[in-house]
Chains A and B, each alone.
Chain A
Amino acid sequence: DAKTTQPNSMESNEEEPVHLPCNHSTISGTDYIHWYRQLPSQGPEYVIHGLTSNVNNRMASLAIAEDRKSSTLILHRATLRDAAVYYCILRLPQGGSEKLVFGKGTKLTVNP
Chain B
Amino acid sequence: EAGVAQSPRYKIIEKRQSVAFWCNPISGHATLYWYQQILGQGPKLLIQFQNNGVVDDSQLPKDRFSAERLKGVDSTLKIQPAKLEDSAVYLCASSPRWGGPIETQYFGPGTRLLVL
A binding-site residues for B, Cβ under 8 Å? 30, 32, 41-46, 49, 85, 87, 91-94, 96-105
Contact = CB atoms under 8 A, between A and B. Distances in A.
A43 B100 contact: no
Interface size class of B (residues with CB under 8 A): 20 to 34
A41 B48 CA distance: 23
A39 B98 CA distance: 26
B110 interface: yes
A97 B56 contact: yes
Please report whether the interface of chain A is mostly helix, strand, loop or mixed according to DSSP. loop
5 contacts: A32-B102, A43-B110, A44-B43, A93-B100, A93-B101
Contacts of A32: 101-102
Given A43-B4, A43-B91, A46-B104, A99 B45 contact: yes
Nearest to B44: A102
Given A100-B105, A104-B40, 20 more contacts: A30-B101, A41-B109, A42-B110, A43-B107, A43-B109, A45-B106, A45-B107, A46-B105, A49-B102, A85-B42, A93-B101, A96-B50, A97-B55, A99-B33, A99-B99, A100-B43, A101-B45, A102-B44, A103-B42, A104-B41
Please report whether the interface of chain B is mostly helix, strand, loop or mixed according to DSSP. loop
Contacts of B104: 46
Contacts of B25: none
Contacts of A104: 40-42
A107 B86 CA distance: 24
Interface in B40-82: 40-45, 48, 50, 55-56
Contacts of A43: 4, 91, 93, 107-110
